[in-house]
Amino acid sequence: MPSTSKMAQLKTDLERSLDRRASVARYRANRRHTRELFDVVAPEAYETRPIELRNPIVFYEGHLPAFSVNTLVKKGLGRPGIDPRFEVLFERGIDPEDESAVPGTPAGWPSREAIRAYGRAADDAIVAALLNDDVAREDNPVLSGGLAVETILEHERMHQETLLYLWHRLPHDQKRAPTGAPRPVLGGDAPARRRVRVPAGRATLGAKRGEIPFGWDNEFQEHAVLVPEFQIDVHDVTNRDYLEFVRAGCYDREDLWSEEGWRWRTEHGVRHPVFWERRNGELRWRGMFEELPLAPAWPVFVSHAEASAYARWRDSRLPTEPEFHRAAYGTPSGAERAFPWGDEPPDPSRANFDFATWDPVPVGSFPAGASAWGIHDLLGNGWEWTSTVFAPFPGFEPMPSYPVYSTDFFDGKHWVMKGGSLATGKELLRRSVRNWFRGNYPYVYATFRTVKSE
Ligand code: AVJ
Ligand code: FE
């Protein structure tokens, strides 16, 4: 009869081999999804740069495997990579303040064939490591608890969202919809604008180290915030609502905009959201695969600067990060939930996420996803801008697997977004996830709602 510690050992060995196979399956599924996303884009668009403030498309096909090799194989396991040149060239993306600060890129990128061959070699190395190496060894802070493995898996998930919003900028003749792609659901008129009162109470932000299987460094530590009473929009601001702001001439009203917001608005000649297009005097929606009517009930996607100006025009403001938490996860009893609707994991009846659609769906489409206060769409469809500057929580420590993940962005120029979009993976809908962008970045699937405190 084996001793109990021997039994425990046997059990963990079995568990470990199941974990290994599960990680390989997740890695493979991720890579397949990335490949499917690249297949949407016409080959002639490969070296184009759909967003000036980001690298060209070609970069991302190299970045995903190179990041995985850099993080798991080199940094984690301490082994050589596959191609040192690629592992520097594709190491990290860019986030310049404006178009004039875009760093130079190579005169010629490696060929697509070479990048794909690198990707295949990287996949083989990662899969072999997941199957055979001690990828979760506890005496190595990069690997401990599966940190590097989770880091590479979620990194690829996040960039699938990057790819989607980049693809959104491409001309329609440079994309092909996959067969069976769902048709856009335009819906009817938007629901009436309405706010609901959320009484003062506690919001728990962040997570405790060791209590969730994985989190990015900026999600720690957990801490409670007392949130005073406020009133918040039941629905995200819609295209119908925002059109009133445009028609009222608010892109010409400097008094509504912050100083940087106004500078961005004037220097770029911004007259309406980038997801909108003016065609023969009519405003239309730039859909993923076709131009569409401006669906009144879709959430408007805008920059933080535009969202803030709109809120000011409505004599209101954007919610703070703690207010978002209270609206999404708080309840009248004071208990807090894992998700707006309760503790059950996300499924397609609760929200629009995980690439279920290629364009948003009407606000209020998921009554089963409403929060305890009856607030809709707090997760999915579009991220939500907050008035909170992206900064570390108390007890922040850079993560060993990717120490510059957040620290470079604690510069007072990035704003917290919460909630997730149509292109956010399921695992990234956990309560503690924080996203962030510059205030003048209008390209993300990001909407907002307004709040008032009496
Ligand atoms: C957290 C979404 C702002 O896309 O720039 C990817 C995530 N960091 N690779 C980004 C990220 C490094 C990041 N965001
Ligand atoms: Fe990245």
Ligand 2 centroid distance, CA of 378 (Å):
25
Q: What is the mean pLDDT of residues 66-79?
A: 98
The response to whether residue 228 sits with its C-beta less than 6 Å from ligand 1 reads no
Confidence tier at 18 by pLDDT (50, 70, 90): confident
Residue 1 confidence (pLDDT) above 50: no
DSSP, res 173: G
User: Are 427 and 154 within 8 A, CB to CB?
Assistant: yes
Task: Provide the angle, in degrees to the nearest 10, between the axes of the packed helices 239-247 and 304-313.
Answer: 70
Q: Which of 160, 201, 175, 168 is nearest to 420 (CA)?
A: 160
Contacts of 358 (CB under 8 A, 6+ apart): 164, 177, 181, 182, 184, 287, 288, 289, 422
Does ligand 1 lie within 6 Å of residue 435's CB atom?
Answer: yes
Distance 392 CA to ligand 2 centre (A): 20
Distance 151 CA to ligand 2 centre (A): 10
Q: Whose CA is nearest to atom 12 of ligand 1?
A: 405
CA of 155 relative to ligand 1 center, distance in Å: 8
4 confidence band (pLDDT: 50, 70, 90) = low
Percent of the chain with pLDDT over 70: 98
Residue 33 Cα to ligand 1 middle (Å): 18
3-state DSSP helix/strand/coil percent for the chain, to nearest 5? Answer: 40, 15, 50
Residues 203-220 have pLDDT tens digits of 999 999 999 999 999 999
* Cβ atoms 111, 58 nearer than 8 A: no
Ligand 1 in contact with 436 (CB < 6 A)? Answer: yes
Residue 22's pLDDT band, with cuts at 50, 70 and 90, is very high
CB 51 near ligand 1, within 6 Å = no
Is the pLDDT at 16 greater than 90, yes or no? no
Q: Which ligand is nearest to the CA of 158?
A: 1
Atom of ligand 1 at shortest range from CA of 162: 4
Mean pLDDT, residues 256-261 taken together: 98
Lowest mean pLDDT, pick from 94-108, 142-156, 404-418: 94-108
Q: How far apart are CA 38 and CA 112, in angstroms?
A: 12
Burial of 280 per CB tally in 10 Å (0-12, 13-18, 19+): exposed
- If you average pLDDT over every residue of the chain, what do you get? 96
Q: Is the CB of 96 under 6 A from ligand 1?
A: no
Instruction: Give the distance (Å) from ligand 1 centre to CA of residue 430.
Output: 16
67 CA: nearest ligand 1 atom: 9
The span from the CA of 295 to the CA of 30, in Å, is 32
**Percent of the chain residues past pLDDT 90, beyond the cut:** 95
> Pairing mode, if any, of strands 435-438 and 414-418?
antiparallel
Burial 390-419 (b: 16+ CB within 10 A, else e): bbebeebeebbbbeeebeebeeebbbbbbb
Q: Measuring from atom 9 of ligand 1, which residue has the nearest CA? A: 155
pLDDT at 139 over 90: yes
> Separation of 51 CA from ligand 2 center, angstroms?
16
Cα 434-439-442 angle, rounded to 5 deg: 95
The pLDDT of residue 107 is: 82
Closest ligand to Cα 95: 1
For the segment 60-71, what is each residue's pLDDT rounded down to a tens digit? Answer: 999 999 999 999
